[in-house]
Amino acid sequence: MTSIDMSIRGLQAAYASGELTPEGLLQKIRLAAESHAQRNIFIHLLTDDELAPYLAALAGKDPDEHPLWGIPFAIKDNIDLAGIPTTAACPQFAYTPEHSAQVVARLIDAGAIPLGKTNLDQFATGLNGTRSPYGPCKNSFDPAYISGGSSAGSSVAVALALASFSLGTDTAGSGRVPACFNNLVGLKPSIGLLSASGMLPACRSLDCMTVFAYNCDDADTVLSVAEGFDANDGYSRPNTYANSKRHYGLRQGPLKVGVIPESQLQFFGSDSYQKAYRETLKALQEDGFSFVEIDYAPFDEAARLLYEGPWVAERYLATLPLIEEDPQAVFPVVRDIIAPGGKPPATALFKAEYRLHELKQAALAQLKGLDCLLTPTAGRHFSIAEMLEEPVLRNSQLGYYTNFMNLLDMAAVAVPTAMTETGMPFGITLAGPALQDRALLSIGNRIQQALPLPMGATGLAQPALSTTPVGNTDSIDLLVCGAHLDGLPLNWQLRERGATLKQVTRTAPVYRMYALAGGPPHRPGLILDEEHGAAIEVEIWSVPAAEFGSFVARIPAPLGIGKVRLDDGSAVCGFICEPHAIGDAEEITAFGGWKHWMAARL
């Protein structure tokens, strides 16, 4: 299997050329899966009879209109696939759903082929992949090491080319830690962006489905198919235009990124991970990333609420009635975590909620003005033996950089960045406020191209990745040249909308400036004149995209917003003037800018 490019683009090319057929690929996957049986990847691998309907359905689907035509994927076994038992890695809990989860159904409608249900930490309780009666799921690079969990089998299936992508779930890091340990991209979308209908939750108010893929291009393709508002899911939320597929690509320009201070980093004795992290930051600095230290304390305190606070009650609810009627059926470590969840009083929940909101304000306030937060995905990669020695302590250590994410309602993408000197994968996580998924994926795409690694454990190079340029969708750059300049009478209209001064610069030498009649306040008019123009001093302000429309609506005639060229050859939105308005206006081009003209009048 390692000789087949299992990326979505790779399989599409192989199908188009006739080199492969879906039937032939599935036969190869089945043989490869059998050879990896000792890694405990699958709980249920679909039989030929169970796969037959999905293959037959491809005949009626045009590959050009179905973006996942013939693409095989794996499903974590707490997500429903119609007619196949859902076990959550607990045989006594198993049930057979009549309908697939909404996300699974959307993927199948787009032509994807479900291969099977994958092993997990029982009831999605764990970050390591050893808490399953089906055996510990072993790492794709070294079977002596953990795969990461709870979405263990889903990550290893992709890393070993048994699937092109897979679905996991994430409460505390289960869609990110396994990605790190298996050299994959792990997309943890904003809560509610993917429907949770048909997903057995660990903590219903916090959970989300996740995507494991070889690269950010594939993760975006899967997200584009899978996303969609679901009225049957109380936590579903519609996407925004700024977070739509149109805004995925290769992030351009300088990036300002938050990082954790050295004093707050934890690598739990792993010199190799510490070294890989520092080398990653150094390489990204050379690619245009600048780093700003944030205080990690509120993130860390929020993270500890997940298991030390009353949210464990949600895990208790998710396992009813089994946890009460037959607790011995639950994996011992998992039972010890879940069983106390029936005890916290409502007062404990509200007390924790109050503190969580305080922490959320403190944490997210630090991200304003930053493109994202960057952390190690995990501080150390444990062997299975080490994990079994200290299952609770080391699982907690695995969540040091991940447990806060859903409590603070953030989106995240785990991105592989390095192989350690011991030959094991290392990666970082990019995080931001909810509904920043495409922005994070676009930065992740840039990182993958700056720090290229093979696809999973296959040794194969990544396909060519997207080079479509994209920028920051949170704000819009606006050129101002008159009364809105810093310190002048209308500047408050920008500042009250949260705009910030980004740059003082000059236009291209193709504009003429006039002092328009009327006022106060006095206003200039900027007119394009390719033959007799000059460079004019201007300011660029970064305006929150949500506030831009209200600002533009207040601009009186004869002024408006158009594209204004700068002296570096770029163009930005900026103030322009209708030519008819300069008939009785004073030309002030020679002063080189509005403030210079005002100073000369004093």
Of 470, 455, 466, 447, which is closest to residue 377 (Cα–Cα)? 447
Structure tokens at 1: 């299997």
- Return the number of other C-beta atoms located less than 10 Å from residue 41's C-beta: 29
Q: How far is CA 218 from the centre of its chain?
A: 13
Cβ neighbours for 280, distance < 8 A, ≥ 6 positions apart: 417, 418, 426, 428, 451
Structure tokens at 412: 């995240």
CA atoms within 13 A on the CB side of 97: 19
The three-class DSSP label of residue 79 is: strand
Q: How far is CA 521 from the centre of its chain?
A: 45
Catalytic sites, residue numbers: 76, 150, 174
CA distance 13 to 3: 14
- In degrees, to the nearest 5, what angle opens at C-alpha 230 toward C-alphas 226 and 234? 125
Helix, strand, coil share of the chain (percent; to 5): 35, 20, 45
Structure tokens at 531: 């033959």
Structure tokens at 355: 């503190």
CA distance 193 to 170: 13
Cβ atoms 184, 158 nearer than 8 A = yes
- Return the number of other C-beta atoms located less than 10 Å from residue 24's C-beta: 11
Instruction: Give the helix/strand (H/E) hosting 28.
Output: helix 22-35
Of 444, 414, 405, which is closest to residue 190 (Cα–Cα)? 405
Q: Is 329 exposed, middle or buried (0-12, 13-18, 19+ CB in 10 A)?
A: middle
Of 142, 223, 221, which is closest to residue 183 (Cα–Cα)? 142
